[in-house]
């Protein structure tokens, strides 16, 4: 017998589907329920490598952690990694299968993947007591409904009840919730069980008359009103919000252990991938992380991070256009700390041979590390471990570029020259002892009296965040009613709301 299930949909992208899904997962696992996350199709540049070497969305890896289970490719069978405005790399069951335009994908390829995603969901439901599925964008994207495999398409085929999440902080939540239902076909509407209001600030009693009217208009109840909480946006799918100049990564509110703070500037390169690498830095008391796009913003930074990107050659051009390339070269020459991760490591090298990603052939890098990069068609997907600065380190690699290191000191399969460091390893800064040793090196080089806190555990902080998500659901949602949905499906006899989807 298959386990229960629920699809968490949203009125918009960034309505809170990922964190609500994680919160429901953590609440369930604390009740002794064996639960798994699932997202049929994810579009994200933030990805993760499972132990079996499969690439999945990082949000699903975070949700698996909320479930206290090991992430697998079954939890995110289709991952789309944008490579430009019109094309994405398609990753199927954890392995890249080619580049495709949006028109080509929605023109037929997506429908052919429905069997694969349904099989993955069926296998999870055969193993777990409950599977909490996350939708994508909005289920009322009527132009894409025919080929949909992640919202109502998966709900219809798997008989899943649907909970629609609306972000009230954006405004217009009642119209968004009502309109989402009213633009669905009668068959789709029959699965929409009700609503969840997210990011509410203020007195809930002032909202209740609107919720009552919404129930009267739609015949569907609201299963909870979640209050606005800072610091819950963990492992986001999309880096666009943080690529804006001056955006500060949310960090622990605690005084620095030493006399100084440490300022970290992250170059907001185009197609930034796995920007979550710097979350571990932001978790350190006294470390201030911000994303920048102007050379003058590097002047007072104690450490500059050039992060991963899905467009290494494009990132190089961007760095040059903005004047950041010259600023990075000056920093390297002056012995001021620079860390390049994955694509950021590649741009710091001597040159890149790229006939795969940009197809631009040989392109000169910034020349601050003795490294030459050749792009291979086969993608490297590994979970390496080792030692650096005398401390154990773990990470994960996701890249087409193969680095030939010609000098410098070895550093996490990359190299170090002076205070310029480069590695393909994502996630290395989550290793607490290594992160502290690295920050001590940075502070010495920068002349800062910064001291890493001796007891910061990134894993423990992540667990605390996930527990906070579980608390939100437990304290502010009708959990008995949610469990009935998961176990028994959508209530029967839900009314149709005109006009419905166009024919």
Looking at the annotation, which residues are catalytic? 342, 426
Q: Tokens 């969901």 — which residue?
A: 121
Q: How many helices (H) and strands (E) does the chain have?
A: 16, 27
Among candidate residues 114, 48, 117, 111, the one with its CA nearest the CA of residue 81: 48
Do the beta carbons of residue 446 and residue 303 sit within 8 Å? yes
Task: Please report how the helices 173-182 and 208-218 are oriented relative to each other, as an axis angle in degrees rounded to 10.
Answer: 10
Region of residue 464 (left: phi > 0; alpha: psi -120 to 50; beta: else): alpha
Dist CA 200 CA 198 (whole Å) = 6
DSSP E strands: which ranges in 102-169?
130-134, 162-167
- DSSP state letters, 431-474: SHHHHHHHHHHHHHHHT------TT--HHHHHHHHHHHHHHHHH
Find how far residue 243's CA is from the centre of its chain. Answer: 14
| 12: Cα separation from own chain's centroid | 16
| Residue pair 309/346 in contact by the 8 Å Cβ criterion | no
Whole-number Å distance between alpha carbons of 24 and 35: 10
DSSP, residue by residue, 238-298: --TGGGSTTPBPP------SSSS-EEEEEE--TTEE-GGGGHHHHTSTTEEEEEE-SGGGG
User: What span, in angstroms and rounded, lies between the C-alpha atoms of 195 and 178?
Assistant: 10
Q: What separation, in Å, do the N-terminal and C-terminal C-alpha atoms of the chain show?
A: 36
CA distances from 74 to 37, 54, 222, 298, 348 (A): 9, 10, 31, 42, 36
Cα 366 to Cα 22, 58, 118, 319, 401, distances in angstroms: 40, 30, 46, 10, 16
Q: In what order do the strands lie in the sheet with 95-101?
A: 41-43, 78-82, 87-92, 95-101
The three-state (H, E, C) secondary structure of 228-244, written as one string: CCCCCCCCCCCCCHHHC
């Amino acid at each position: 017998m298959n386990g229960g299930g629920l699809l968490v949909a949203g009125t918009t992208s960034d309505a809170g589907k990922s964190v609500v899904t994680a919160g429901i997962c953590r609440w369930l696992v604390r009740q002794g329920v064996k639960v798994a996350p699932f997202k049929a199709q994810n579009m994200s540049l933030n990805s993760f490598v499972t132990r079996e070497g499969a690439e999945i969305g990082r949000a699903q890896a975070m949700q698996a952690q909320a479930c206290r289970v090991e992430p697998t490719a079954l939890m995110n069978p289709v991952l789309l990694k944008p490579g430009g405005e019109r094309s994405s790399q398609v990753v199927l069951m954890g392995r890249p299968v080619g580049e495709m335009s949006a028109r080509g994908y929605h023109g037929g390829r997506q429908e052919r993947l429905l069997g694969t995603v349904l099989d993955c969901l069926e296998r999870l439901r055969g193993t777990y007591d409950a599977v909490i599925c996350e939708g994508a964008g909005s289920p009322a994207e009527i132009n894409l409904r025919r080929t949909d495999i992640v919202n109502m398409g998966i709900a219809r085929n798997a008989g899943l009840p649907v909970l629609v999440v609306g972000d009230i902080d954006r405004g217009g939540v009642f119209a968004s919730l009502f309109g989402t239902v009213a633009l669905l076909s009668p068959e789709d509407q029959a699965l929409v069980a009700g609503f969840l209001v997210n990011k509410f600030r203020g007195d809930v009693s002032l909202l209740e008359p609107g919720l009552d009217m919404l129930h009267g208009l739609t015949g569907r109840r609201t299963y909870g009103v979640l209050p606005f909480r800072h610091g819950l946006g963990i492992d986001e799918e999309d880096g666009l919000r943080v690529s804006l100049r001056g955006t500060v990564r949310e960090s622990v509110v605690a005084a620095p252990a030493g006399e100084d703070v440490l300022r970290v500037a992250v170059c907001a390169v185009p197609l930034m991938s796995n920007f979550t690498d710097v979350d571990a830095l932001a978790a350190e008391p006294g470390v201030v992380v911000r994303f920048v796009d102007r050379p003058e913003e590097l002047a007072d930074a104690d450490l500059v991070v050039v992060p991963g990107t899905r467009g290494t050659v494009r990132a190089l051009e961007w760095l040059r256009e903005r004047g950041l390339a010259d600023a990075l070269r000056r920093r390297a020459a002056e012995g001021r700390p620079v860390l390049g991760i994955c694509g950021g490591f590649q741009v710091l090298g001597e040159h890149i041979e790229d006939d795969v990603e940009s197809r631009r052939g040989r392109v000169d890098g910034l020349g601050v590390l003795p490294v030459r990069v050749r792009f291979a068609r086969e993608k490297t997907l590994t979970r390496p471990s080792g030692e650096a600065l005398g401390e154990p380190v773990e990470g994960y690699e996701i890249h087409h570029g193969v680095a030939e290191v010609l000098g410098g000191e070895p550093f996490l399969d990359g190299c170090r020259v002076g205070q310029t460091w480069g590695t393909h390893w994502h996630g290395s800064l989550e290793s607490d002892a290594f992160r502290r040793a690295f920050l001590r090196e940075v502070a010495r080089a920068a002349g800062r009296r910064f001291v890493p806190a001796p007891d910061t555990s990134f894993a423990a902080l992540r667990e605390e965040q996930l527990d906070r998500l579980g608390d939100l659901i437990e304290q502010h949602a009708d959990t008995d009613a949610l469990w009935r949905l998961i176990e028994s499906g959508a209530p029967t006899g839900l009314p149709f709301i005109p006009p419905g989807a166009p024919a």
